[in-house]
Structure 1
Amino acid sequence: MEKFRIAVRKFSPFESTLQKLWDAFCVKNNVNIEVEMIPLELHDLYEETITHNGLKNGKWDIAHLNTDWIFDAANEKAVLDLTSFINQNPPQDYPQGWHQSLLNLQQINSGTYGLPFHDGPECLIYRKDLFEDAAEKENFKKQFGYELFPPKTWEQFTQIASFFNRPAANLYGCVFANFPDGHNMVFDFCLQLWTRGGSLLNDKNQILINHNQAVEALDYYRNIVNNKKAVHPGSKNFGSVEAGMAFAEGQAAMAINWFGFASMCEVIDESKVKGRVDITQLPHNPNHNTASLNVYWLYTIGTGSKNQQLAYDFLRFATTPESDKLLTTEGGIGCRKSTWNDPEINKTIPYYHKLEMLHENALTLPQTPIWPKVAELIDQMVLKAIETEIPSKTLLEETQENIEKLTN
């Protein structure tokens, strides 16, 4: 019999969890098919599964896909609609075991194209030991004239980041993920835009980023990222995983990153900040609300898989409350409400229950087949903003023109 193949998002907690789940699944169900799990970086994962038709042609039985790609994958008929499987044999407490915001994006044209795997919206992660330190509080107030608290506005964010920036102590004010992979800088741009009351869409639901709030968003972001007195110098080469690791190793006072990288600080061996971390909502402009971004990972089954029933049986097993909790203790983020409110998990990760709050403010990216290409254009635009002196307004105008070419 052929091997059963799983395309895994490369991240050690995902890899270890999946191996443990597969082993347990095989023992429980007396399955002895050989499995091959291949960990792939974001770009390679997309190429392997969707661009090169790996899910369609049977190369992969199961793949981790994120919700940025699922619309595209469903349109390409790369991923299986799980509706009939779910109707016959639903996952445990489906759908009420999950928050509604983790069930929407995989619902496309009345089909269900995946089950929630890993989540954790964007948030502000900070070192509560630094923020609560009496001497730090006193020095900060002397310098800035207000109490030291996690920043509520972007102006405060810049001030606090510069206050905590101490290169000699290998501590930086904040850390970003500026590696151009079509994701992190796109998300950062969206968060800057939304927390200023801006939108990615016009009233006709078309993508429109050429407006004042977008100029403000890009201006602020290019300035903060290049602020050597506030930002970790490794940020330019960091993806979200590397930025998360730098924070866990105690190299930054603040980070804007996925919730998962906060919880990772409490469970991985490399962490030097266990018990010293907390999370809160993102800063925002004074007249506007905070926002978060919800992009989550799904378990999907390839339309070309010759083992679809086995794949679905494994998905049911991998999404039980126990499996979801295991992912969390390994350093990922469970998607079930039962995990968010689990007393044991909250003992280890005291802010775990705050996931519900983040989901209440979590926005999602536009669902359109062209989104992956739009994301690449925004990514290139933000990179140009960081690396050149070209005015933000010009960059936004050019990018908008290129976005419109995609739809013509």
Structure 2
Amino acid sequence: MDTVKANHHKLKLISREFAGFEASFGVQANYFKSLTGWEVEREFEEIHRLYDRMVSGKEALSDSHDLFLCVTDWLPEAIQQGLLVPLNEYLLADPPEGWPEAWSSSMRGLQTDKDGSIYGIAYHDGPEMFIYRSDLFNDSMEQEAFYKKHGYPLEVPETWNQFVDVARFFTRPEEGMYGALTASYPDGHNNVYDFLIQLWSRGGELVSDNWQPLFHQSIGQEALQFLVDLIHKHGVVPKEALEMDSVKSGNHFAQGNIAMMWNWAGFAAVAEMPDMSRIVGKVGTGVIPEGEGPAGRHMSLNIYWVLGIPSGSTNQEMAYQFVKETASAAMDKATSMCGGNGTRLSTWRDNEVRQQFPYYKNIEVVHQNVNSPLPIPEYPAINEVLSQMVDDALNLRCSVVEALDRAASQVHEILKRADYC
């Protein structure tokens, strides 16, 4: 009881800044207060700063927060450093509704350590999907004009070459219209994921089985050059994208001046929200295009956000109760209805969710072809190298080959120091 008094019946949560998270955690905090009387004080931080504070700066070891929304990229390092509380005993004694079968296996693996310890419950799922203006693709005049120009029907592109054709067709700067949009701000998030999607969809890999960098070879050169060319050669992505992170690009798409993008599925939700979007009811989703040739494949990223408990929390039992209640079917659905992406199968299959956000019918399909960044504690350092590499190339500070070779050398040193190779 002394601990309760000292903390004034209050939990402190820290999350990435995103309007969907602010809305969903608001609903879930109010629900939790109605159940327990405990308030949940919420803090939202820019993604780079969130990592610098909670993981790199080890603020998770202090008593500053009781709940931490952590992206799976950071989990191997956070687990190695002892920054999060293992939840196994809580899960055994008092599991969330439907645990664990109510979640896809793809939503349970990345927070589970090799010894079976579980360090959080999935709160917000990507995945990255292809998002486009369905009204433009369905317009008969646009279809006729495209066919006359290219000799094949205007359809959602299957390959990256088709993507470029469609993007160039819809790029009309004089009308303020562009064919495509990327999130190219160097925050180590989408700018890196854009490169990984380009690499993987062409059949490439980051490293070999014996931990030698592979991403700088010919497939990686093709992948990075493609991103550079979208902005500087084809001119189908506005240069403002160099200053846009995933949130800004998603919000920009919702204003109606972009024909296509690949981005987190949650931004298809933003585009269906009347108070945030000018294109409600005009949005389609599908799988991300594949590379040309036999190695080409439709790929997305399996990266998600988990709600965990920082090791320094002085309210761990009550923090777990919040994690448990927030993982319920009703509260997971609330995450989706507020503009995030719930992680339970029941939410993905919910008729009301699908009616409001039609892309949910594609989520399980997308999850059949996903890959994840290297699940090692050193990945955040590698991610920073990749972020700098992409940013240097996109801003034409050096050639694609120079950027890739320098990054491959740095990644090799990181892996060598950690005795991977």
Structures share a fold, TM > 0.5? Answer: yes
In 2: Cα distance, 1:207 partner to 1:94 partner: 38
In 1: Cα distance, 2:221 partner to 2:175 partner: 35
Q: Secondary structure at the match of 2:129?
A: strand
Matched, 1:88 2:96: no
Tell me the residue number matched to 2:311: 303
What is the aligned length?
A: 406
Q: Secondary structure at the match of 2:59?
A: coil
Identity of aligned residues (%): 34
Normalising by structure 1, what TM-score?
Answer: 0.96
In 2: Cα distance, 1:364 partner to 1:346 partner: 26
Q: Is the 8 A contact 1:61 1:307 kept in 2?
A: yes
Instruction: Please list, as runs of the form range in 1=range in 2, the aligned pairs for 1:204-283 lying within 5 A after superposition.
Output: 204-227=210-233, 229-283=235-289
Tell me the residue number matched to 1:359: 367
Give the C-alpha shift of residue 76 in structure 1. Answer: 0.7
In 2: Cα distance, 1:378 partner to 1:389 partner: 15
Give the C-alpha shift of residue 226 in structure 1. Answer: 2.2
In 2: Cα distance, 1:106 partner to 1:45 partner: 18
Give per-residue Cα distances to partners, 1:317-338, cap 9 Å, x unaligned.
1010000111111111111110
Normalising by structure 2, what TM-score?
Answer: 0.94
Instruction: Tell me which amino acid in the other structure corresponds to 1:325.
Output: K
Give per-residue Cα distances to partners, 1:71-122, cap 9 Å, x unaligned.
1111110011101110111111111111111110000132101100001211
In 2: Cα distance, 1:187 partner to 1:28 partner: 39
In 1: Cα distance, 2:205 partner to 2:384 partner: 18
Question: 290, 311, 328: which is aligned to 1:320?
Answer: 328
Instruction: Tell me which amino acid in the other structure corresponds to 1:232.
Output: P
Matched, 1:349 2:357: yes
Tell me the residue number matched to 2:144: 138
Give the C-alpha shift of residue 129 in structure 1. Answer: 0.5
Tell me the residue number matched to 2:348: 340
Question: 120, 126, 135: which is aligned to 2:126?
Answer: 120
Give per-residue Cα distances to partners, 1:152-205, cap 9 Å, x unaligned.
111111111111112232221111111000111110110010111101120224
Range with bigger deviation, 63-72 or 230-239: 230-239
Question: 2, 5, 15: which is aligned to 2:22?
Answer: 15
Instruction: Tell me which amino acid in the other structure corresponds to 1:35.
Output: V
Tell me the residue number matched to 1:177: 183
Tell me the residue number matched to 1:63: 68
Give the C-alpha shift of residue 220 in structure 1. Answer: 1.3
Tell me the residue number matched to 1:39: 44
Question: 297, 301, 309: which is aligned to 1:293?
Answer: 301
| Change over 3 Å in CA distance of 1:240–1:225 after alignment to 2 | same
Question: 197, 202, 205: which is aligned to 1:196?
Answer: 202
Q: Is the 8 A contact 2:229 2:235 kept in 1?
A: no
Q: Is the 8 A contact 1:174 1:231 kept in 2?
A: yes
Give the C-alpha shift of residue 145 in structure 1. Answer: 1.1
Q: Is the 8 A contact 1:49 1:60 kept in 2?
A: no
In 1: Cα distance, 2:86 partner to 2:165 partner: 49
In 2: Cα distance, 1:81 partner to 1:268 partner: 40
Give the C-alpha shift of residue 19 in structure 1. Answer: 1.7
Question: 386, 392, 395: which is aligned to 1:384?
Answer: 392
| Change over 3 Å in CA distance of 1:87–1:226 after alignment to 2 | same
Q: Secondary structure at the match of 1:267?
A: coil
Gap regions ≥5 residues in structure 1: none
Range with bigger deviation, 141-150 or 226-235: 226-235
Give the C-alpha shift of residue 210 in structure 1. Answer: 2.6
Q: Secondary structure at the match of 1:278?
A: strand
Q: Is the 8 A contact 2:216 2:404 kept in 1?
A: yes
Give the C-alpha shift of residue 371 in structure 1. Answer: 0.6
In 2: Cα distance, 1:205 partner to 1:132 partner: 46
Matched, 1:393 2:401: yes
Tell me the residue number matched to 1:26: 33
The ranges of structure 1 where at least 4 consecutive aligned residues each deviate by more than 4 angstroms after the TM superposition are none
In 1: Cα distance, 2:167 partner to 2:385 partner: 29
| Change over 3 Å in CA distance of 1:22–1:44 after alignment to 2 | same
- Indicate the RMSD between aligned Cα atoms, in angstroms: 1.4
In 2: Cα distance, 1:227 partner to 1:261 partner: 27
Instruction: Tell me which amino acid in the other structure corresponds to 1:378.
Output: L
Q: Is the 8 A contact 2:199 2:215 kept in 1?
A: no
Q: Is the 8 A contact 1:267 1:330 kept in 2?
A: no
Give the C-alpha shift of residue 374 in structure 1. Answer: 0.5
Matched, 1:161 2:152: no
In 2: Cα distance, 1:278 partner to 1:57 partner: 44
In 2: Cα distance, 1:371 partner to 1:340 partner: 30
| Change over 3 Å in CA distance of 1:206–1:320 after alignment to 2 | farther
Instruction: Tell me which amino acid in the other structure corresponds to 2:28.
Output: L
Give the C-alpha shift of residue 207 in structure 1. Answer: 4.3
Q: Secondary structure at the match of 2:312?
A: coil
Give the C-alpha shift of residue 206 in structure 1. Answer: 4.7
In 2: Cα distance, 1:347 partner to 1:395 partner: 44
In 2: Cα distance, 1:162 partner to 1:41 partner: 33
Q: Is the 8 A contact 1:173 1:232 kept in 2?
A: no
